[in-house]
Structures are given as structure tokens and as C-alpha cells.
Structure 1
Amino acid sequence: MSDTPLPPGSYRPATDKWGAFSKLAARLPEGSLALVDRTVVKHHPGLLPALEARNPRAIVQITGGERAKNFASLEKVLTGGLTLPRSGTLIVIGGGTLGDVATVAAHLLKRGVRLVQVPTTLLAAVDSSLGGKGAVDLIVRGNVVKNPVGVFHYADEAWICPEFFTSLSDAQRREGAIEAWKMVACLDGRLFRKYMRQAPTLEQLVKDGRRLKESVCAKDPYEHSGLRRVLNFGHSFGHVLESLSRFKLSHGDAVGLGMRCALDVGRRLGVTPEPVALQVEQALEQGPGILGRDRIASLIQRTPLKDVVDLLAADKKAGTSGELRMILLTGIGAFDIRDVPETEWRQLWSAWKNGIRP
């Protein structure tokens, strides 16, 4: 741990520690606050004893998942950390949803405490545990709007413990792989083609994903320059589909379907060449295994367009005038940021409803 914390929210480069959790836990300052996913505790019985050995101030257990990303969970963590000093540490052991709640809590507690991220899902390891962003969801007209209330608060460290990945389902591994492939498709054409020839190991996937995301965050730590928006490839319509499914569709799978939509929009606007769109889509099907277009159709079949327009308008990635701001590929490993008129993506709606490629 660093002795002198930076001001709350300040950018700090990624400091990754790989190893067994029991050994890394010895680094945790005594009297820390811990937020732990109940499900992870069930699968890994050695977790709580390793934490308790460090005399934590409190161990808050919450079951992870999108339903946990709300103000009630945030309040529970804040209450557990009421006596935590400004120099204290909040450690979160779980997936991206608990990581988001912990990031907000770490920013608010005593106006900023140290944060240690311990991702237990592949998705959190390659994406959400890195980059300093945390948020909670809101309900708007009966629909869940993802991440409209949040902060930037960079973790002091991230502990990557491969043991936690052993209990993941195939679906959980897939959604983490989708996020990693997403970054490679946007940022490193050479690596993308290498992945197409031979699928990476899980450890290499995590290292490549974190390296690419860190390279972007270092240049645009607070999304001011616009470069960091590349990480939102597939998220605009992905978040819509996720919300419409009432979060039965996982975030990673939603992003995979959102990338299909983004490739369609890119072709529609003449930004994404047809061969590029086809090659990327086929690679995503054969590599991480994104879901088929029939899943898009099943989610929007009975959805009024107005509901989709409302969800897109409420999304934090909208432009200053509410326009839909999307990341579109111009090549493999190259992208552009475009404002997409509603009239353009509406032209694709019929094909999406029928589960076919426009």
C-alpha cells in the first residue's frame, strides 16, 4: 500500500498484484472495511478467515448482481465504514456490481479512502476493476437506467487471484472474454488477428485486457478528451438490451449484442466497411461466442420504440444535446466517435426485430 494517498478521485496507474488471496491478504492494513460477495464466500471458504486474520473494522456481505447496485447497498457499506479513518482502506471482493458500489463508497467515506479491488469474475478482472469508475443505478419510468450516478475513484491496488475464476460458469467466462475481445477489436488490430488464429489463455486475456484499458485510461482518466469513450463500444444498445431484459441478460452478453448493433450502425452510416464488420462479427462469434441475433429480436419484439428512445436519452454516453454518441469501427483496431441521428438507427429496427443482419 502507498503511505501517502492521493486526493480522492485522483488518477493512479494500475498496480496489479497476482497471487493467492490468503497471501495477498497479509498486505491488508488492520482495521480495514471489507465488502464481500456472499456467493463468493460460499464457493471459497478460506476467504473470510483470511480477512478476519487482519482484524477488519467490519465485513459487509452483499449478494452481487445488478440488483445490488443501488442506494440501499451503498448505504449499507457507508454505515459499515462510519468509524473508518481518512487513512483507512476499503477492500471489495466480488464482481463488477459490488466493485461499482465500493468505488462510490470509497469516494464518499471521509471524503475519500483507499480502495483495493479484488475482482472475482473474469469480466471485473478485465474491465470494471480498472479505470476508477463506480456508479449506482436508478429507476426511470419503471426501467433501470445503468450508472447515471457515479464517481471516479482509482483503486490503490488490484489483486488478481486466479483461484476465484475456478468457480465461474462457462457463461461468466464468456462475458468476461467478450469485454476483453471488445478492447482488442477497437485498439489492437494485430493482437485481434492473433486471437483469431489462436485463442489466448485466461491469464493472457486478463493481462491483455487490463493493459489495453490502462493505456486508454492513462491518457483520458476522467473522460475529458474523448479517447476513453472507445471503451463504450457496444454499450449504447447493449445497456438498452440489458435493461429491457430486467438484467436477466448479463452485462457481457449485452455488450456482445450491442457490438452487433454498433457494427450495423457503422455500416449504415458508411463508417464501418462491410468486410470489417463481417470479419469482426464472425470473430466474436467464433472466439468469445457472442449470442445470436435471435436474442436481440426476443428482447425488443414487444418493446415500444419510445421506451428505447428514453433509455438511450438517459444513457450517460449521450452527447450534450442528447444525441446518441457511439463508437464505430473504421477498421480492425481503429475507431471513430459519431453522433448518430435517431432516424438512422430506426432504419435498422425492423431487421433487429426479425433477428437478421440488416
Structure 2
Amino acid sequence: MNTKPEVIREGFNIAAYNTMGISATSRFFAEVDTLEELKEVLAFARDQHLPMYFLGGGSNVLFVDDYDGLLIRMNIKGKEIQNENDDHLLLKAGAGENWHELVMYCVEKGWGGIENLSLIPGSTGAAPIQNIGAYGVELDQVFVSLEAIEVSTGERRTFSKEECRFGYRDSIFKNELKGEYVICSVVLRLQKHPEITPSYKALTNALAEKGISKPTIRDISNTVIEIRESKLPDPSKIGNTGSFFKNPVISKDQFHTLQKEYPEIPHYPAGDEIKIPAAWLIDQCGWKGKRFGDAGVHKMQALVIVNYGNATGPEIWDLANKIQHSVQQKFGIALTPEVNIIG
């Protein structure tokens, strides 16, 4: 097969397709709306021996150079109830559905389970890749299965929750199967009569301030949105990818050593280890609000690196590296980017 599918464009500037607003050119670009289009595009890429990268909402990627391959934006939509009983339902959603819009759809319907994940940027298909989470809830708590296409063969495969090997901001699709499958749809198990017991401190405090003692899922969603909007910049106004780094997880021994020097260090249990907020570490190193040309650290949230206008990918990445170095020097902790670095 040598003919280029109609959906593929050449020499495409992707500034509008990544929330950091980085101007970079992809050799080929395709926006696919159906499984058939996806299979055509994959066949072309295999025939041309092209490297590929799959874009969702473009909210979890930093381009540090032009991309000499095929960028595929998944735009496969659709929502359907697969199964239901008196208490639960299984909702199947296309990978191209906007995640926040899917959450709002479920809140409108009164279906509980993902309201804590309101306003997380990106697509539904990208959500399982890093097992998105916020305010005490992670995707794997409601996840049932996903359908994916194997890039090398075009074969369809269903992955169970166990097969996805979810971890903290992690899954098999970030590790052994990275780049080998493209997610087409996701199935979630939602509650028809949700029992609301928020445990995340910032959320319970915000609800208490509003005088809400028995919150509904709409209360939870609205409050999460308010908190996120107060802390995180809107990518449509200022380029960013949300949290740039993962919250590091360290051993209890390392934590106790640090706690002696920094008694106020915030921390959370993470199995047999301890999770430390990356934002606190970065803030302690004096980065919050710093700006270098058009690349900077947000003045309200140290975990967010921003593009004030015309920063380049390498400028953003250089700033990220400097932050990593200073946190390593001060605390002996290695920060890992949550975003994918491409180029």
C-alpha cells in the first residue's frame, strides 16, 4: 500500500494541538474519526516505516523538536451503556471523548465514580495510560476494560483491568507496551446511587467551608472544579500541561531522614513508601513564579511550567531540567516528568 490516506496531512504545525502551545512541525499528521480510518493510517505508517505518536487532547506532551513521523490524533467519539442493574452501569466511551465533558455527562446523569476527576485535561483514551487521579480517586477504581488496536498488525484486543497493570500515574501502556497499542474505547463501572465519602483533605475542607455536610456528586464536581481553577492556569489562556512532574514516592527511611531536617514536609502514605508533593519540593527550591523569557513556573502552583507566549520546546525542557537538578541537590529526590517528551 503506497497511497496516502486522505486524512493524512504533510508538514503540519501542531501548535494548536498541544496545550503547552509549542510550535513544532510534524512530517505527517492525521485526525481519525473511525476505526476504519485508524486502520488505514496505521497501514500507511507501517508501509512507510514511520515512527508514530498518538495525541489525545495534547495536554500531556512536550515537543522539544519537530516530529519526523506520523502524529495521530484520536477523535473516535461515542458513549453507550453496555450493561446495567439497579446499582451500577457499565459505560463505554470512545477514546476521542474529552475527559472533562465525559465527567460532566455522568454528573448530569447522576452516575457516580469519576466526579473527583473533573477538569482533568485530555482525552478519555489517554486517561488509562497514566491512570489519571485527583482528590483521592484514581481511574483504576472505576475501570473495567479497554479496547485497543495493535499498531504492528491492526488487530483488535480487549485489556482487562488486571492486564493494564495500573500503578500510580502508571500502566502497562507507559512501560512494556508503550507505543505498541492505540486505545480506541474505555469501559467504566459507575454507581447509580453513589455513596459520597470524600477523604481528601483539601476537598473535605472546601466542602466544609461551603457548609456542605452531605455532598452530592454535583457538589463534589463543582468543588473540585473550583479548587482546580484556583490553582491551575487555563491552557486556553496560558500554555501549560497541568502537573509537569509526578509526585515522587520515597522509602520510609529516606523520608525520616528528610523529616529531621524539614519537620513540616508534607507527606502521604503510598503502600510501604511515602509520597511527597512535588510542588512543595519545587517551591522550597524557590522556583514558584520564576520566569525566563516566555518559559516560567506558575506563580500560584509550582508544579506547573507555563509558556507565556513564544517559548520553544527546548526552553521549557531546559527549565524543567534545572528544576530537577535543584530538587535533587537539595533533597536527594529525583523528579520524573508526568508529561511525555517528544523529539
TM-score (norm 2): 0.28
TM-score in terms of structure 1 length: 0.27
Higher helix share: 1
The structure richer in strand per residue is 2
The answer to which structure, 1 or 2, has the higher relative contact order (CA under 8 A, 6+ apart) is 2
